[in-house]
Amino acid sequence: MEPVETLVEHCNSEAPRLVADRTLPALLAARAARNGNAPLFSDRTTTWTGAEALDIAARRAGALAAQGVKRGDHVAQAQLVHAVDALDASDRRRPRTRSARCAMTFHVFRCRQCATTLFPARYFCPACGGAQWDECVVERGFVAESTVVRRRVGAEGGHDVHLASVVTSAGPVVIARLDQAMPSGAAVRLDIDDAGGIHAHGV
């Protein structure tokens, strides 16, 4: 796939001179308006048109805006929260976690070409480069290690949050919130809580 810098330079060279906004979404929109069905970039297995690239960018931008993110804000994507992945899961061809969140069940993603299993999913499989993923429900796992985080809320103090690395039955290790302190090796049941995070319950 072309680097983003190359893609921006390419779009800049073709964007109408009247387009003042030179952000990537705006450049993609200009390209899609001119020839949305033409291939824009591709990897070894999948080609995206200008319209498809614009749709991906718009979905992510819209989801972040709905969460209060404004132009110029910096967004961090972390292993602990998977925030952007959870917001960007409406693209079923390159799934993330929104479908799992809506169903309130926890899913991992298995590459159709080589069966590599990941969470969260990536656009392309790191093992074979494939871009086709199957969602697999995972309900069980066990605690690898855990810790307690003290959340402070003003002068009133706070409360303890129990977090753990959980080895899922499908293989991937995820960070989950525990109902209570649990020892290493404890069996847990996984689901998605109301905030979209992974929740592990003792069984």
**Any residues with CB less than 8 A from the CB of 93 and at least 6 apart, and which?**
131, 132
Q: Does one domain contain both 119 and 200? A: yes
Is 185 a residue whose pLDDT tops 90? yes
**Domain check: are 104 and 136 in the same one?**
yes
**Residues 133 and 188 both lie in one domain:** yes
| pLDDT of amino acid 17 | 45
CATH number, residue 91: 2.40.50.840
Count of domains forming the chain: 2
What are the pLDDT digits (tens) for 189-199? Answer: 998 876 667 88
Give the tens place of pLDDT for each residue, 84-126. 343 343 333 344 444 444 446 788 889 999 999 988 777 788 8
Residue 88 has a pLDDT of 41
- Which residues, listed in sequence order, are joined to residue 137 by a DSSP beta bridge? 107
185: domain range?
Answer: 77-203
What average pLDDT is seen over the chain? 70
113 shares a domain with 60:
no
User: Per-residue pLDDT averaged across 168-174, rounded?
Assistant: 88
44 and 98 co-located in one domain: no
CA angle 56–59–65, rounded 5-degree value: 140
Same domain, 108 and 190: yes
Q: Would residue 203 count as lying in a domain?
A: yes
Contact at 8 Å (CB) between 162 and 145? no
- Let me know whether 114 and 157 are in one domain: yes
Distances (CA, A) of 189 to 142, 178, 183: 8, 10, 15
Q: Is the pLDDT of residue 39 over 80?
A: no
154: left (phi over 0), alpha (psi -120 to 50) or beta: left
Summarised one tens digit per residue, pLDDT across range 139-165 is: 899 999 988 876 655 555 567 788 889
Domain membership of residue 72 (yes or no) is: no
135 and 192, same domain (yes or no):
yes
What pLDDT, on the 0 to 100 scale, is given for residue 184? 92
Whether the pLDDT of residue 188 is over 90: the answer is yes
pLDDT bucket at 21, cuts 50 / 70 / 90 = low
Residues 59 and 109 in one domain: no
At 95 the pLDDT is 40
User: Between these two residues, 70 and 112, which has the higher pLDDT value?
Assistant: 112
Same domain for 31 and 120? no
Domain boundary among the residues 44, 66, 88 is at 66
Cβ contacts of residue 201 below 8 Å, gap of 6+?
179, 188, 189, 190, 191
